[in-house]
Amino acid sequence: MSSPVMQKNALAVGQPMVQVEDLVVRFPIRSGVRKAWITPVDHVNFTIGRGEVLALVGESGSGKTTIGKALMRIVEPSAGKIVVGGKDITHIKGRSLADYREDAQMIFQDPFGSLNAVKTVEQHLYFPLKKHRQLRGDDLYIKAGELLELVGLTPVRETRIKFPNELSGGQRQRVAIARALAVDPKFLVADEPISMLDVSIRAGVLKLMNQLKDDFKLSYLYITHDLASARYFGDRIMVMYGGQIMETADSRELIRRPTHPYTKLLLAATPGNPIREKLPETSNLAPNLLEGRTGCVFASRCPLVTDRCRDEMPKLTLLETGHSAACHYAS
Amino acid sequence: MSSRIPVLELEDVSVAYDTHNGPVQAVNRVNLKVYQEEIVGLVGESGSGKSTLAYAIMRLLKGAAFLQNGTIKVMGRDIYAMSPKELQAFRWAQMSMVFQSAMSALNPVMTVEQQFIDTLRSHNKQMTLEQCRMRAAELMDLVRIDPKYLASYPHQLSGGMRQRVVIAIAIALEPAFVIMDEPTTALDVVVQRSILDQIQAIQRKVHFAVLFISHDFSLVAELAQRVAIMYAGRMVEVADSGALTQSENHHPYTEGLLRAIPKLTADEIVIEGIPGHPPDLVSLPSGCAFHPRCPYVTDECRQQRPSLYEVGTSEVECHRYAGEKVVQHV
Amino acid sequence: MIAEAPSMNAPVVRARPQRPKKFVNLRKFVRHPFAIAGMSILGVFVILGVFAPIIAPYNPQASIFIPMQAPSWQHLLGTTNTGQDIFSQFVWGAQTTLMVGLGGGVITVVLALLIGMTAGYLGGTVDAILNTMSNIFLVLPSLALLIVIESYLKGTSPLINGLIIGLTGWAWGSRVFRAQTMSFGSRDFVVAAKLSGMSNLRIMWTEILPNMYSIIASNLTFACLGAMLAEAGLAYLGYENLNANSWGTLLYWAGNGGAMLSGAWWWFVPPGAAIALCGMSFTMMNFAMDQISNPRLATFKKRRKPRVQSNSGIGA
């Protein structure tokens, strides 16, 4: 396999691939006559190193998809800073944004929606290969075949001319991964890539992503609602709720010794978890994302809630090396 | 088992779809009994035929799908022998269904209470409005929703609440048997857990049997007493949920599914997929449909479909158990 | 790891997709009974129109025959009250009417595509402006608008009419295309295309447009039908160059010449029937397209085994 293209902007030794500082994303919503704002991403900080996988775990409405979109610059941040590969990409446009597309790519959740029904498998790869690797003719054809081989879509000769409706969900996701790799990126945002796949197929796709990470020293932001796959694929896990980080730790550590009540709730709710503690009876209200909310986002559902929680928003505090939680009562 | 009354009896049931190139088999000679107050899980992935089977049981097959063979009996009555009128009275009063998407199961222009009343009245014209209202409130209480939401429209409720309303409507007439087709798939994991707990609690109170269909094996194994596993339209294994924790006496597909679920708290997390891809019903592999993906495949598997064997307390359709008692020949 | 390892000079042999897969809808279409019927009927008139110079026995304008004759072997559709051969007029009329119908329809669809796709894809201010424009055109009664324009232009040729019909009738189609484009625009494969660096124009042309072929075809049949009827209507009301030869003017002269009063059915029935038949053929083709693109609308043959039929009330 051809070696990765030389880094365009070599990182300093030890510098993380992705640095997110105080990221805020706000959207206007129509609430009656007046415009209100919601903050699905509310002052979020994290880093991802080279060849590292950060798993971002949360339910719907947690803001995890919005962070992914902000990192890909599909959505522009309202405040804060995002640095990828040493470059500040927070507000870039035009030429710089086009260049960024060679550094970071995205894999989407829905295998059926992420491919174009009228294009064959190989046709999905041609444009990025032409544009970013300047390949033509036979070279283009061969390279496309190599990529398909890389993601396990064998026999390549047969699958390359198939249309998406002739492929299974797992195969389509592999095509999507091949397309993402066509530009030779350094960083991938994977937004729930396996949640719509059959259970028996998921492991194969996760293992592929793992293999590619090792082969190309890729960094991943792996967005999921499933703690089990986060534990498997992620080096570190970040738990989000209502736009804020609740807890972050090394993945093994988080599962073994969760400190935040929300993390404990997620763990208790995950099927296959032998620890079946009775789930505390909490209301199932969606988190309040409106700007100007006070106190802890999780207060309305927390079994440990006190008045202090409702008034004062807990800060993300470091409990041990690499393990932080945002809770007044985290032990 | 034999002293208990079967609520659902599937005998040699086959369902096919008419296509330009002849009928395509979606469900192939399935046998299953569900007993009173039992929860039976039905697990399968794409192409397994589990949803088609559910619709066949409710006699809701549409378009090109039809019951090709076999009998389906609920509470001893042949579903396909009933007249439309009998069927209408029977449905919901004796058996009901909870669908995957609550948003499409509920009428968007009727309040929750109106939907209850609609259901109750259509089966029992004698019920007064007051009686319906009381019953509606009772049912909401049963699924732990504040009765003030009776006046809400479906879109005003959260996903979890909507699904609980759908469940309440399904048990409104206290049927003996409820089919639940992936009721929690579209919901978040915490909401999912609370709904499943609720289903167990209600089932204990109202005493109905459940056929719980899902692709999520670990979910079903926790909830059900018995689990049936389908692959390419055949029921390849039926086992007690206790037996599922053992690693022997399984169909290779079941083994694969068990390995595909990561054990959350293990030291080293290992997940294995099943190589290959889901079966294409239009062109099934020869012999045993699972053979292209099976680690134990032999020539016999490629040529001949296995019989159903009794293995311990389970039934498994696999050549590895030839020599055991045959439950059903091919 | 390399899929093909060609020697330095050996040509790379490429895998080719089987053609049928790509045009599967088209093949289904040409086999569909409604489509066959529609295309046959239309085909008859198209042949008449295309070969008008050969088929028409006389000069359509020549008023040299005995007037008001019933159909005979010399005059297949009889004569007008001024002694013109109706069959010749009919055949030349086929050419004109169909040209206007098809031409006007195509112009309508092209405009609707341009405006609708741009509005749907770009959104924002562009969408707001184009949307307002199309709303205005939608609300205006099209026939009244056409009449007003015509009365300024005084007796235009059918082709000009066709152009005007095309320029005013795009609004409804543009809404449809706008909605379709918007729904595709939010799909992941379009986002992925943007992320791979594709320009907006290229995305619209190569990603979105090919997905809309069946709805464009369906729109086209309706647009042609509408254009044809609009032209006939305008001509019948007298808003066309009265020396032109189209089915509409034929109807005009029939009305003017008292055909209905004198019972000269051979004058007004053929053009009217022809318009109706062509309209029907467009509709039938549209129906076939609908059934193919939405398989749920298709009806199924009755199965041979009645014993285990689905409940008849809830079946297909």
The CATH number covering residue C149 comes to 1.10.3720.10
In the listed set B148, B172, B196, which residue is the last one of a domain according to the structure? B172
Q: In chain A, which segments carry CATH 3.40.50.300?
A: 18-103+185-276
Is the pLDDT at A231 greater than 60? The verdict is: yes
- Least Cα distance to A207 among B253, B270, B254, B293 occurs for B270
Q: How many CA atoms lie within 13 A of A238 on its CB side?
A: 22
* pLDDT tens-digit map of A237-250: 999 998 999 999 99
Is the pLDDT at B1 greater than 60? The verdict is: no
Answer yes or no: is B239 within a domain.
Answer: yes
Question: Is residue A105 within 8 Å of A132, Cβ to Cβ?
Answer: no
* Largest distance between two CA atoms of chain C: 87
Domain that holds residue C235: 87-295
Residue with tokens 């075809």: C217
Do B52 and B195 sit in the same domain of this protein? yes
- Partners of A163 on chain C (C-beta within 8 Å) are 17, 21-22
Interfacial residues of B (vs C; Cβ cutoff 8 Å): 18, 59-69, 80, 84, 87
* pLDDT tens-digit map of A37-83: 888 999 999 999 999 999 999 988 788 999 999 999 999 999 999 99
Token output for A288: 């309040």
% of chain B residues with pLDDT over 90 = 55
Cα C315 to its chain centre, rounded Å, is: 35
Q: Residue A323's beta-bridge partner residues?
A: A320
Can you tell me the distance from the alpha carbon of B243 to that of B221, in angstroms, rounded to the nearest whole number? 10
Nearest-by-CA chain A residue for B263: A272
Domain that holds residue B146: 107-172
Q: Which helix (H) or strand (E) holds B56?
A: helix B50-57
Contact of C15 with chain A, judged by CB distance below 8 Å, is answered with yes
% of chain A residues with pLDDT over 70 = 90
Residue ranges of chain C with pLDDT lower than 50?
Answer: 1-7, 20, 300-316
What is the ipTM metric for this complex? 0.87
Structurally, chain B folds into a number of domains equal to 2
Instruction: Report the mean per-residue pLDDT for chain A.
Output: 87
Answer yes or no: is B221 within a domain.
Answer: yes
The DSSP code sequence of A16-31 is: -SEEEEEEEEEEEEEE
Token output for A14: 């030890």
Q: Which helix (H) or strand (E) holds B73?
A: strand B65-74
In the listed set B250, B270, B290, which residue is the last one of a domain according to the structure? B270
Contact of C24 with chain A, judged by CB distance below 8 Å, is answered with no
- Partners of B18 on chain C (C-beta within 8 Å) are 300-301, 303
Can you tell me the distance from the alpha carbon of C67 to that of C80, in angstroms, rounded to the nearest whole number? 6
pLDDT in the model for residue A284? 61
Mean pLDDT of A137-155: 93
Burial class (CB in 10 A: 0-12, 13-18, 19+), A103: buried
At residue A313, the 3 state secondary structure works out as: coil
pLDDT in the model for residue B125? 85
Between A19-33, A271-285, B310-324, the lowest mean confidence (pLDDT) is in A271-285
Can you tell me the distance from the alpha carbon of B144 to that of B162, in angstroms, rounded to the nearest whole number? 12
Output the CA torsion sign for C204, C206, C212, C218. Answer: positive
Is the pLDDT at A1 greater than 60? The verdict is: no
Interfacial residues of A (vs C; Cβ cutoff 8 Å): 1, 72, 74, 98, 101, 105-106, 108-110, 113-120, 127-128, 131-132, 138, 141-142, 145-146, 148-150, 156-158, 160-163, 166, 176, 179, 182-183
Q: How many CB atoms lie within 10 A of CB A207?
A: 16
- Residue B102 — very low, low, confident or very high, per pLDDT cuts 50/70/90? confident
In the listed set B143, B172, B201, which residue is the last one of a domain according to the structure? B172
Contact of B260 with chain A, judged by CB distance below 8 Å, is answered with yes
Do B164 and B188 sit in the same domain of this protein? no
Do B14 and B158 sit in the same domain of this protein? no
Task: Select from C28, C304, C311 the residue whose CB has the most chain B CBs within 10 Å, as the one to mutate to test that interface.
Answer: C311
Structurally, chain C folds into a number of domains equal to 1
Burial class (CB in 10 A: 0-12, 13-18, 19+), A89: buried
Mean pLDDT of A199-212: 92
Do B113 and B248 sit in the same domain of this protein? no
Do B260 and B185 sit in the same domain of this protein? yes
Q: How many CB atoms lie within 10 A of CB A78?
A: 14
Interfacial residues of C (vs B; Cβ cutoff 8 Å): 296, 300-301, 303, 305, 308-316
% of chain A residues with pLDDT over 90 = 55
Can you tell me the distance from the alpha carbon of A169 to that of A194, in angstroms, rounded to the nearest whole number? 9
Cα C290 to its chain centre, rounded Å, is: 15
Answer yes or no: is C36 within a domain.
Answer: no
Q: How many CB atoms lie within 10 A of CB C304?
A: 5
* pLDDT tens-digit map of A242-279: 899 999 999 999 988 899 989 988 888 887 666 555 56
Q: Do B61 and C316 make contact, defined as CB atoms within 8 angstroms?
A: no
At residue A321, the 3 state secondary structure works out as: coil
Do B179 and B262 sit in the same domain of this protein? yes
pLDDT in the model for residue A32? 64
CATH of the domain at B67: 3.40.50.300
Answer yes or no: is B329 within a domain.
Answer: no
Do B77 and B36 sit in the same domain of this protein? yes
- Residue A285 — very low, low, confident or very high, per pLDDT cuts 50/70/90? low
CATH number assigned to the domain covering A18-103+185-276: 3.40.50.300
Do B20 and B52 sit in the same domain of this protein? yes
**Interface list for C 290-309 with A (CB within 8 A):** none
Do B200 and B56 sit in the same domain of this protein? yes
Answer yes or no: is B100 within a domain.
Answer: no
* pLDDT tens-digit map of A79-104: 999 999 999 999 999 889 989 989 99
| Residue A293 C-alpha, separation from nearest chain B C-alpha, in angstroms | 21
Which chains neighbour C (Cβ–Cβ under 8 Å, 3 or more pairs)? A, B
Do B28 and B54 sit in the same domain of this protein? yes
- Least Cα distance to B226 among B211, B214, B216 occurs for B211
Q: Do A146 and C193 make contact, defined as CB atoms within 8 angstroms?
A: no
Can you tell me the distance from the alpha carbon of C77 to that of C264, in angstroms, rounded to the nearest whole number? 10
Give the residue, C28 or A23, on which the prediction is more confident.
A23
Do B165 and B183 sit in the same domain of this protein? no
Can you tell me the distance from the alpha carbon of C60 to that of C78, in angstroms, rounded to the nearest whole number? 12
Do B168 and B205 sit in the same domain of this protein? no
Answer yes or no: is B38 within a domain.
Answer: yes
Answer yes or no: is C313 within a domain.
Answer: no
Q: Do A269 and B189 make contact, defined as CB atoms within 8 angstroms?
A: yes
- Residue B278 — very low, low, confident or very high, per pLDDT cuts 50/70/90? confident
pLDDT in the model for residue C204? 93
Q: Say what the pTM is.
A: 0.85
Question: Which of C301, C311, C316 lies at the smallest CB-CB distance from B84?
Answer: C311
Q: Do B18 and C313 make contact, defined as CB atoms within 8 angstroms?
A: no
pLDDT in the model for residue C302? 46
Nearest-by-CA chain B residue for C297: B63
Question: Is residue C169 within 8 Å of C145, Cβ to Cβ?
Answer: no
Question: Is residue B329 within 8 Å of B264, Cβ to Cβ?
Answer: no
